Amino acid sequence: MAVFQAAMYAGAWFSPKIKQGIEGRKELLKKLELSLPALVNGRQVAWFHAASLGEFEQGRPVMEKFRIRYPDHFILLTFFSPSGYEIRKNYGGADHICYLPIDTKKNAMRFVQLVKPQIVFFIKYEFWFNYLRELRENNAYILSFSTIFRPGQAFFKSYGGFYRKLLTYFDHILVQNQESLDLMHQIGINNCSLAGDSRFDRVSTIADNVIDLPLIARFLEGKPCLVAGSVWEADMQVLIPALNALKEPLKVIIAPHEIKPEEIATWRKKISGSSVLYSEYKKNTDNQPYNCLIIDNIGMLSSLYRYGTVAYIGGSFGSGLHNILEAATFGLPVIFGNKGYHKFQEAKDLILEGGAVAVADSNEITQLLSNWNHNPEIRMAIGDISRNYVVSRKGATDKIMQETEKLLDR
């Protein structure tokens, strides 16, 4: 772990995000020791930990149901990554939100002794040795949920004894799919069960509680719209030529994964037709029409899909596909790149069921969009597949809460 911490400090010279995480952890434990006891005020503590924003969205429905079921508990939410903490540091569903101190023996001991959690929830991939050991020694209940395992992970290698030991610290592990459950049983871990992915519950809640965005409705003028969500430069290199080649009118909303003004300015120069930033469009009083609206803020995307007829989800021409379920829950056909989606079960499922298409290049995107423009009944049928896929997989949150109640109510 000392090597990991040193690597973080070295990385801060090259990455603003890593630097932000280091700055956010400065004197963190000392600040918590001064403030947290008064905030907790003798209540039992439920600690939820999310690596980043995506894991937070998985954990959110569980936190919110936990709050209803156990209203007297103090909910602590921690993040590892700035991309989660900075966006959700004001989330009202937790009593206190902070970074997770780096997983050293000393930090884990101080943090656990301070927080004294009755129950801890680690979301999806989080396996921190010192924290797990310290929590077990202090008799906290430990759950992992929406967890997913793959054969190539260290847990299942001949040298993976240390990693397998981490799994024994949990009271229960609730996994996403049957493959994960089978892998756990193969290495003798039986304190686990199949619950599914709580993201399905989260995106269903978003669809059931839609937010009206009058400016977006005005921009659309009743025309079909492609919502391009969480896109990167690699996505736009493929998407822009595809959009420029379309002969039919199509409104486009682009929501970058990261707001980089210079990069967005370059995209606008390459896009044929008129484009406008959302921040500018809000000030537009002359009702000038635009073809492309670029969202230059964070937090709107999940509500934007409601206004789309088709979704392109970014990340799959780079390091990995972003959340496709937020679009699928609104009944949109989903398009994404054919490279970085294979480790995402929902992407493979939706391709197999016919609700999503993985594309190799601009020509394929143009052909899809043209076909769906000319045949809206086909587009809507594909969208129904996406929506039904989400609806059929709801319920993980209730299963997670059942295991929670077994621990807390016995």
User: What's the CATH code of the domain at 115?
Assistant: 3.40.50.11720
Bridge partners (DSSP) of residue 275 are 292
In eight-state DSSP terms, residue 101 is P
User: Does a structural domain hold residue 35?
Assistant: yes
Q: Are residues 297 and 166 in the same domain?
A: no
Task: Chunk the chain into consecutive blocks of 10 residues (it has 410) and report each block's average pLDDT, rounded to whole numbers.
Answer: 49 64 90 96 97 93 98 97 91 97 96 98 94 97 96 94 95 96 96 96 92 92 95 97 92 95 96 93 80 92 95 94 96 96 93 98 97 96 98 97 95
Query: Beta-strand (E) ranges in 250-362?
Result: 251-256, 275-277, 292-294, 310-313, 334-337, 356-359
User: Which amino acid appears at position 370 of this protein?
Assistant: S
**What phi-psi label fits residue 128: left (phi over 0), alpha (psi between -120 and 50 degrees) or beta?**
beta
Q: Are residues 272 and 355 in the same domain?
A: yes
Using alpha carbons, select from 144, 4, 2, 16 the residue that is nearest to residue 82: 16
pLDDT of residue 249: 79
Write down the pTM of the prediction. 0.86
Q: Which domain holds residue 37?
A: 2-198+395-408
pLDDT of residue 158: 93
Q: Are residues 65 and 181 in the same domain?
A: yes
Q: Are residues 261 and 305 in the same domain?
A: yes
How much is the mean pLDDT over the chain?
Answer: 93
What is d(CA 30, CA 231) in angstroms, rounded to the nearest whole number? 39
Q: Are residues 194 and 253 in the same domain?
A: no
Q: Are residues 227 and 341 in the same domain?
A: yes
- pLDDT 10s digits, 317-373: 998 999 999 999 999 999 999 998 998 989 999 999 999 999 999 999 999 999 999
User: Does a structural domain hold residue 86?
Assistant: yes
Please state, as a whole number, how many other Cβ atoms lie within 10 Å of the Cβ of residue 318.
17
Q: Are residues 151 and 235 in the same domain?
A: no
pLDDT of residue 251: 96
* Order of strands, sheet of 334-337, starting from the edge strand that comes earlier in the sequence: 275-277, 292-294, 251-256, 225-231, 310-313, 334-337, 356-359
Q: Are residues 217 and 346 in the same domain?
A: yes
- pLDDT 10s digits, 97-118: 999 999 999 999 999 999 999 9
Q: Are residues 306 and 377 in the same domain?
A: yes
The domain that contains 369 carries what CATH number? 3.40.50.2000
pLDDT of residue 5: 52
**How are the residues of the chain apportioned to helix, strand and coil, as percentages rounded to the nearest 5?**
50, 15, 35
- pLDDT 10s digits, 40-53: 999 999 999 999 98
User: Does a structural domain hold residue 50?
Assistant: yes
User: Does a structural domain hold residue 206?
Assistant: no
Q: Are residues 23 and 108 in the same domain?
A: yes
Q: Are residues 382 and 289 in the same domain?
A: yes
Q: Are residues 26 and 112 in the same domain?
A: yes
User: Does a structural domain hold residue 227?
Assistant: yes
Is residue 31 packed enough to be buried (19+ CB in 10 Å), middle (13-18) or exposed (0-12)? exposed
pLDDT of residue 289: 84
